Each structure stands twice: as C-alpha cells, then as structure tokens.
Structure 1
C-alpha cells in the first residue's frame, strides 16, 4: 500500500535526523503532505526497488518533489511499462550474464571451498548443461550452484539433478525464492495474457511452437478479445508480442 511506503520513507528520513516519528494514525494525504514538506528542503537520493506498475510509480513521483538541488530517484523494475516512465538517456537495461560470467558465478557457489573454485573435469559437461538452463540469470545461478555445493560431486548425482531440475525448483526449500520470482512474474501478467501463457503448457517440453498455429488455437479457445475492426489474428499477434 502506498501509505506504507510513505510511512517507511518518513521513518527512514527522521531516523537519519535522530527524530522520533509516529505515522500510524496519519492518513495517506497527511503522510504525502509531510513527505513533500520535508523533501522540499532536502537534496536526496531515493531508490525504489522492484516497482511493478506504472500507475504506482506515477503516484510515488507526485510526492518526490524536484528541489532543483541535484536530487535523484533510482528505480528497478522488470516491467517495460514502468521503465518507459524514464527518459531514454536514463535507462539501463540489465542483460543476462554472458556464458563465461555465468559459469564463473556458478562455480563460485558450487565449489565455495575449492581453491579458485575449480570445477572437476568430470563434472564440467554436466555443470555447463545446468548453467545453460539458467539462461544467464544470476538469481538462478546462485541458488542452483548453492544447492549443488551440498550434493555429492559425481556425474551420477549431478546428472540426476539436471534431469529433475524443474521438480527441484518446486520442492527444494532452498530454491523457494526462485519460484517466488517466477510466480510474481506470472501474477503480474495482464489477465488476458494468463490464459494464453498457460495454454502453452499443452505442448511438450522443448517442442517448437509455430506462431500462426498458436494464435489460431488461442482464438478457437476464445482467449482473444475483439478490438475495434482488427481481426482476432491481428489482436492475437499483439498478445504474442507482448507475452514474448
């Protein structure tokens, strides 16, 4: 809730000045006014991590007054819509790790007590297969590398883990935070895309899904809404582009 954000920000600001703050009984409007009044006198750096919707960010920006004193706001987001709120010159798109960096990060976690984190030669082929499944995502590399550091270091054990990786993601408590990230990504899909996304589970793993066939199947299932004079296939093309 936005009022919780205002309270947290005010509490942090007051704590820096060693002042007590009790905003529990203040309304959302009162909290906003208090925050605006304080920030007008400050040169500030505020970081907002993992912003999900552009509408929420617009509401937050209304309170973060520009004092013309060199203040800055940094936001992180996985949403292109949120990122579009920033000018082009101020956007940094974090890309997945290159293969060499991904392998290095994985080795640091999988072999934390080995000198220079060297992977045994017999495990390299299987290890690189597992790293490849992480698609350069640091969170996945760290979590999976940490799990493998606790397993017996032989080809049989690692091969079994690779074969059951999807199952491991769902049942291993040490990987729950990865599952939560994936669940959040699904949760914040627009409703009209959720059914389209889930429908892809009808196809076998690693199956090549042809674009035209997929959008016709979506239309046949009734997932595509009629928009103006556009054909259902044209609307579905837009859905697919957005989903990708």
Structure 2
C-alpha cells in the first residue's frame, strides 16, 4: 500500500491516510483528517459541522483517501468525505482484514491480497530477527513460527520484532507453543490473527509500552 501511494503521489492534490483500528469513532477519524489537512476547528464543533468543513475543503481538490485497518463499516459522508466523481479523479481505498467490510464499503472493486510465499516470508522474518535465526538450535522453531504467521506480512514483522535478540532455544520453543492456535480458533481468521498479535504484545517488556497499544 505504501508503494502504491508513492507511485500515485503526483496524481492527487492531497493524499490522506488514516489508520482506523478497532477503537475508532467518527470524530477520531475527522481529527486525523483535519491534522493532515492542517486545519483546526474549535472542540465545540459537532461531528456534522466538522464534516461540512471537510467536504468544503476537499471539494476543491483531487484527493486519495485511505482508510487502513478497518474493522467495520465507516460512513464516509458522516466523516466529511465528498461523494466520489470519476471525472474529478478522486479515490477512496479501504484496507481491512475483513472481506465483508471491504465488500460493503468498496462499491466497485475488491482486491484480495494473497499471502506472501514461504520464501518471501522467511526472508522477511530473517530481516527482522537477524542472523541468529539461522542458528542450528533455533532455525527449526523459527521456520515453524513463520508457518504459523500464515504468509501475513504484518504478523511476520511483529513476530520477528518480538523475537529479535532472543538466543535462548527454550524461549523459541515457548514462542512456537504460544503462537499455535487453540482448536476453536483454527477456522476463525480474524480471531486467529488477534491471537498471534497478542503474542507480540505480551512480549513487550514495559507496561508503559503495552499501554500505547491499548
């Protein structure tokens, strides 16, 4: 997605990228859009008043609006994103782990991202962990951990980061055990991803750091 933005950067007057997350609200999205547009409004403004200001600001520009990490439908009109006109050249991209959300919001086209290959997954994991991942005692566990990540770059990156600098074979064995799915989650894709992300969260050493992700 970042490469796409780089490639199309000159096609738009403004590119707005908002990471939504599960803990979202219309106002949180609006505040981030205001920040990226270098606009400020009194806190007393209602959501609908903010939306009106955003629509007025964006109506005069060609824009690419990216909503990343979306977990449920977001009402773009309520946020303040003008209706899209093909002739004007404005676009909205919705990125989500949930196919139903993409289908509900996309309107025209939905692209399902394929998992990376096993070779690409291993190369990415090795990049994040470092050369110790190829140590004789560690590599067998590391390879199985990469398989547990299911070819998802996000999981590979955060799991690799969590294991960076760990040279104790027993810790690697324990990590694999923690990442393996309970039977009830095997067929639940979203919960499976969250289960594995929780592993990396739990490995954060400081409660203060953990609280940044709550």
Pairwise TM-score range, normalised by the shorter structure: 0.5 to 0.7
- Residue 23 of structure 2 is aligned to residue 5 of structure 1: no
**Alignment partners' CA distance in 1, 2:175 and 2:55:** 53
**Alignment partners' CA distance in 1, 2:89 and 2:79:** 16
> With structure 1 as the length reference, what TM-score do the two structures score?
0.56
Number of residue-to-residue matches in the alignment: 167
Question: Structure with the greater relative contact order (CA < 8 A, sep ≥ 6): 1 or 2?
Answer: 2
Question: Structure 1: which 5+ runs fail to align?
Answer: 185-244
- Residue 169 of structure 2 is aligned to residue 159 of structure 1: no
**Alignment partners' CA distance in 2, 1:145 and 1:77:** 22
**Alignment partners' CA distance in 2, 1:92 and 1:37:** 30
- Cα deviation 1:128-170 (Å, max 9, x = unaligned): 12211222222222232233332226x5553344335469827
**Alignment partners' CA distance in 2, 1:142 and 1:94:** 17
| Secondary structure at the counterpart of residue 77 of structure 1 | coil
Instruction: Identify if the C-alpha distance between structure 1 residues 140 and 79 changes in structure 2 by more than 3 Å, giving closer, same or farther.
Output: closer
The partner residue of 1:99 within 70, 94, 118 is 118
- Cα deviation 1:22-60 (Å, max 9, x = unaligned): 231212221122222222211111111122222x23545
Instruction: Identify if the C-alpha distance between structure 1 residues 33 and 52 changes in structure 2 by more than 3 Å, giving closer, same or farther.
Output: same
More helix by share: 1
- Residue 83 of structure 2 is aligned to residue 65 of structure 1: yes
Contact in 1 for aligned 2:68/2:94 (Cα 8 Å): yes
